Amino acid sequence: MKKILTYFKPYKWQSFLGPLFKLLEATFELLVPFVVSLIVDKGLGARIDGGYPNADRPYIVWMCVVLAGFGLVGLLFAVVAQYFAARTATGVSAGIRRDLFKKLQSLSYKDVDKMGASTMLTRMTSDVDRLQAGINLFLRLLLRSPFIVFGAMVTACLIDPNSFGVFMGAIAALAVVVFAVMFICMPLYKKTQAKLDKVLLSTRENLTGARVLRAFCQEEEERALFDSRNEALTKEKKFVGGVAAITNPLTYVLINLAIIVLLWTGAIRVDHGNLSQGSVLALYNLMGQILIELVKLANLIVTVTKAAACGSRIEAVLKMQPSLIVEKDGNCSQPSQSKAFILFDNVSVRYVEGAEEALENISFTAERGETVGVIGGTGSGKTTLVNLIPHFYDVSGGQVCVDGKDVRCESIQNSLRKRIGIVPQKAILFKGTVRENLQWGKSDASDEELWAALRVAQADDFILEKGGLDAPVEQGGKNFSGGQKQRLTIARAVVRQPEILILDDSSSALDYATDAALRSAIKELKTTVFVVSQRASSVRDADKIIVLDDGKAVGIGTHDRLMETCEVYREIYYSQYETEGGAAV
């Protein structure tokens, strides 16, 4: 938890003042039994004939005023303490959320794939909320409850030293119960949060893939999977909740047994004239305070245990180091003598250590202004290949160079991705307006630049119909069709006028005529373009086509050359362009 503690540094005074004001409130609370004892012994006096003829009414009124004053001052201290505790808890959780978001943004695709989206969401929401609640309660009760417990014990010893053994025995028994429950519950809460991750995973998958589920009639299977995961979470929560719930009844039993012993011994001592009635009442009140505070302490320990489990999970994410390798310029391997704009030199990629290579010994070059097509079957490594250019993944062998520098070099990291426009496989739009989505590509882009990008992406016509640049975009772009979303994501990449444009199967939802018009418009940009596609028509006119098969480059060249020399390319082409007579169109 050392990493979490660093977030308290900006709130060190609030972290100190919150418990301090709680201690002041507790001090006034400990004085109340003394005042009550004085009211009984001095204010009421000896009871005679069913009345209080010796009662000192002004003294009683004055003591009642003192009690009311203690209550008001205690309330003021409690409000101030709550303010400082809440300010610290919310500030710390805000800082953690901010750094968690930064950390998730810094992780590589490999790290994100390994952790999983549902786990990240749990860390950012449920775990941080539980940690915030734990910090708030911790600052308010950590010192107050033990202070009142031990303060009541010392006060009782001052009132009647013979009662010290009763108080000490009760506190020792209660401490055993509370800490036993804490040690049992802490690992159980970690298991509960792990099962919550699985429930969130099912929820997220079903929400994002609702159409696919219905298309394949998998609703019942997914309901069964969710029910099983939800049932496992429920059982775990019931079990740990049952263990935690034992704390309160055991605490009440032990305290009430202590009160019975206290009243019994106190009555005997009053009867012998060794103890006043007010003192017995004060001891009873002190034991009651111990009961209340130990119940609070038990709840605090349960809450803090949950918060500690969540904090350790959060800390594990914050301590994660991005797996992407960034080398100092002096340590970067020197590229070959090739003057090519983009160079792949014997590149291999392995997602997981010990696994098979997703790409193996890929070598090619791309010059400025060239269009490079990447084609191959599903799972052949097309997306992996283009994701190496902006350094989204690390190579396991060889090197990727842009403009003569290895993409792993520190000096190129800040500028590399700003020079690249990327259109991913899945078209993602964000809630807002068309203008706001396009300005992700270039934040200060003018309306003329935005419309120019829309024209290149063949999207200007339907944007005009929807109301122009200020037309609303729903979350995920749900108010646009698949082809419209793809064209908007292409426009978003084009608007930044990148040196390298990567189109990762970004025209799969477009008809052939729109796709042809799009390719023609992009060719006029005079930028280096990588077109990933399973359509031979999308890469046919490329200056260079890379044919991938099971992670290997089985052919590199123009369309005409590959038709002569590459069997895999011919199979792809003929499967898409074949007449009834068997002749290719």
Instruction: In whole angstroms, give the CA distance from residue 371 to residue 367.
Output: 9
Q: Which of 156, 168, 138, 190 is nearest to 296 (CA)?
A: 138
> Of 318, 351, 380, which closes a domain?
318
- Cβ 192 vs Cβ 237: under 8 Å: yes
Q: Per mean pLDDT, which range of 115-124, 333-342, 442-451, 476-485 is the poorest?
A: 333-342
Q: Which residue has the higher pLDDT, 275 or 425?
A: 425
Tell whether the model's pLDDT for residue 335 goes beyond 90: no
363 in the same domain as 305: no
Tell whether the model's pLDDT for residue 324 goes beyond 80: no
pLDDT attached to residue 330: 59
The domain that holds 360 is classified in CATH as: 3.40.50.300
pLDDT attached to residue 275: 74
Tell whether the model's pLDDT for residue 436 goes beyond 80: yes
Q: Which of 30, 46, 40, 31 is nearest to 60 (CA)?
A: 40
296 in the same domain as 150: yes
350 in the same domain as 266: no
Within a domain: 57: no
The domain that holds 116 is classified in CATH as: 1.20.1560.10
Mean pLDDT confidence for 429-446: 89
Mean pLDDT confidence for 473-481: 87
Q: Which of 326, 525, 299, 531 is nearest to 408 (CA)?
A: 326
Q: Which residue has the higher pLDDT, 548 or 328?
A: 548
What residue type is 71 in one-letter code? G
What is the arrangement of strands in the sheet containing 500-504, beginning at the earlier edge strand? Answer: 420-423, 500-504, 528-533, 371-376, 544-549, 552-557
pLDDT attached to residue 333: 62
407 in the same domain as 380: yes
344 in the same domain as 294: no
- Cβ 473 vs Cβ 479: under 8 Å: yes
561 in the same domain as 458: yes
Within a domain: 22: no
Mind listing the pLDDT tens digit for each residue in 255-281?
Answer: 788 888 878 877 877 777 777 777 788
Structure tokens at 1: 């938890």
Percent of the chain with pLDDT over 90: 15
413 in the same domain as 270: no
Containing domain of residue 390, as a range?
329-576
Tell whether the model's pLDDT for residue 582 goes beyond 70: no
> Of 252, 285, 318, which closes a domain?
318
Residue 46: pLDDT band with limits 50, 70, 90 = very low
Within a domain: 16: no
Mean pLDDT confidence for 92-112: 86
> Of 318, 351, 371, which closes a domain?
318
Sign of CA dihedral 100, 105, 111, 114: positive
| 456, 458, 510, 537 from 479: Cα distances, Å | 22, 18, 17, 29
Looking up tokens 């953690």 gives: 96
- Cβ 19 vs Cβ 81: under 8 Å: yes
pLDDT attached to residue 306: 78
Q: Per mean pLDDT, which range of 21-35, 49-63, 254-268 is the poorest?
A: 49-63
pTM for the full model?
0.68
Please report the DSSP string for 149-193 in residue order: HHHHHHHHHHH-GGGHHHHHHHHHHHHHHHHHHHHHHHHHHHHHH
Mean pLDDT confidence for 322-342: 70
DSSP-assigned letter for residue 358: S
Mean pLDDT confidence for 557-580: 83
Within a domain: 582: no
Residue 48: pLDDT band with limits 50, 70, 90 = very low
Average pLDDT, the chain: 83
Tell whether the model's pLDDT for residue 77 goes beyond 80: yes
Within a domain: 80: no
Within a domain: 495: yes
336 in the same domain as 304: no
Mean pLDDT confidence for 118-140: 85
Task: Identify the H or E element spanning 390.
Answer: none
304 in the same domain as 429: no
Within a domain: 93: yes
pLDDT attached to residue 584: 46
pLDDT attached to residue 149: 80
Tell whether the model's pLDDT for residue 105 goes beyond 50: yes
Range list of H helices, 209-246: 210-215, 219-245
Residue 49: pLDDT band with limits 50, 70, 90 = very low
381 in the same domain as 247: no
**What are φ and ψ of residue 302, in 5° steps?**
-60, -45
User: Can you name the residues that pair with 397 across neighbouring β-strands?
Assistant: 348
Mean pLDDT confidence for 393-420: 84
**Number of domains comprising the chain:** 2
Pairing of strands 397-402, 359-366: unpaired
Percent of the chain with pLDDT over 70: 94
Tell whether the model's pLDDT for residue 325 goes beyond 80: no
Q: Per mean pLDDT, which range of 280-289, 415-424, 425-434 is the poorest?
A: 280-289
Within a domain: 132: yes
pLDDT attached to residue 182: 72
570 in the same domain as 471: yes
> What is the separation of C-alpha 5 from the centre of its chain, rounded to a whole number of angstroms?
18
Task: Identify the H or E element spanning 531.
Answer: strand 528-533
- Cβ 410 vs Cβ 329: under 8 Å: yes
Residue 252: pLDDT band with limits 50, 70, 90 = confident
pLDDT attached to residue 175: 75
165 in the same domain as 94: yes
Looking up tokens 């082409």 gives: 573
Residue 53: pLDDT band with limits 50, 70, 90 = low
